[in-house]
Amino acid sequence: MSGYPTEPTMIRSDKTAREIFEETLANPARAKFGFGQKIAIVNVDPQKAYTRPDLYPKTAYITDPNQVTHINDISSAARSKGLPVVWTHVAYMENAADAGVWGTRTNTPDSLQNIKYGSERHEFDDRLTIDEKVDAVYTKRMPSAFFETPLASFLTWHQADTVVITGGSTSGCIRATAVDALSRGYRAIVPIECVADKHESYHFANLTDLLIKYADVVPVAEVKAWIEGYKG
């Protein structure tokens, strides 16, 4: 039909995902969502299956070598100001009956469905400082930290309007949690040094997508500065 576009309009580029992210970060096309009145730290799946490539080289990854330290720092700082801190990790029943379609595409020792409750893969990284007296700890089964967990009601009770999302993977559970946060009316903040992925292309492509659409992607120093200035 005449008058309709007939050629693809998708932009093509020889730049790497990292280069595109760095350019987008330096020249943002929109204003930031910004921090709201009260944040919550949501640490998504910093468990051994994903943080210990020495133990699980096929599933774990390191992007920033100081990721765990940064997560501890902002979680501790938030806790000291009375701000809520949440930790999630993934696990399934022994027969994987709760893994759904997502978890059962393959069945190898490294498959998602074989992260069992109480297993080493399910355990949080030993370097993390988690205070279960005051921090919320949830086991989840799907990508988003919001899906079938008490997270939303926990944030409502604490009157948090902003979620700072850390952990991994950037292209999986971080992205899913950020999209769900925005969809539920929260401001989403993703500190760059606090998230990781298996491959830099996935990592930076998704950071770019988050930055353009769903979240503020910022240096962790911005999160630390906001917490330091929080008066309650």
Per DSSP, what are the bridge partners of residue 191? Answer: 218
pLDDT of residue 4: 86
For the chain, the first-to-last Cα distance in angstroms comes to 61
Nearest to 46 by CA among 187, 165, 179, 219: 165
Rounded Cα distance, 177 and 168, in Å: 10
Task: Give the residues of the chain that fall short of pLDDT 50.
Answer: none
Spatial neighbors of 52 by CB under 8 A, at least 6 apart, are: 60, 125
Residues 148-178 pLDDT 10s: 999 999 999 999 999 999 999 999 999 999 9
Task: Identify the CATH number of the domain in which residue 145 sits.
Answer: 3.40.50.850
Single out the catalytic residue among 40, 49, 99, 173: 173
Instruction: Kindly state whether residue 76 falls inside one of the protein's structural domains.
Output: yes
Q: State how far Cα 177 lies from the chain centre.
A: 6
With 0.85 as the threshold, say if the pTM is over it: yes
Instruction: Kindly state whether residue 16 falls inside one of the protein's structural domains.
Output: no
Write out the residue range of the structural domain in which residue 181 sits: 35-229
Distances (CA, A) of 6 to 2, 10, 107: 9, 12, 44
- Residue tagged 């774990």 (tokens): 60
Instruction: Kindly state whether residue 15 falls inside one of the protein's structural domains.
Output: no
Instruction: Kindly state whether residue 13 falls inside one of the protein's structural domains.
Output: no
Instruction: Kindly state whether residue 192 falls inside one of the protein's structural domains.
Output: yes
Instruction: Kindly state whether residue 153 falls inside one of the protein's structural domains.
Output: yes
pLDDT of residue 6: 85
Is 173 an annotated catalytic residue?
yes
Nearest to 227 by CA among 38, 3, 7: 38
Report how many domains make up the chain. Answer: 1
Instruction: Kindly state whether residue 115 falls inside one of the protein's structural domains.
Output: yes
pLDDT of residue 1: 57
Instruction: Give me the helix-helix angle, 220-229 and 67-80, nearest 10°.
Output: 10
Distances (CA, A) of 106 to 32, 100, 229: 40, 12, 47
Structure tokens at 217: 């992607």
Instruction: Kindly state whether residue 28 falls inside one of the protein's structural domains.
Output: no
Distances (CA, A) of 97 to 85, 116, 118: 30, 11, 16
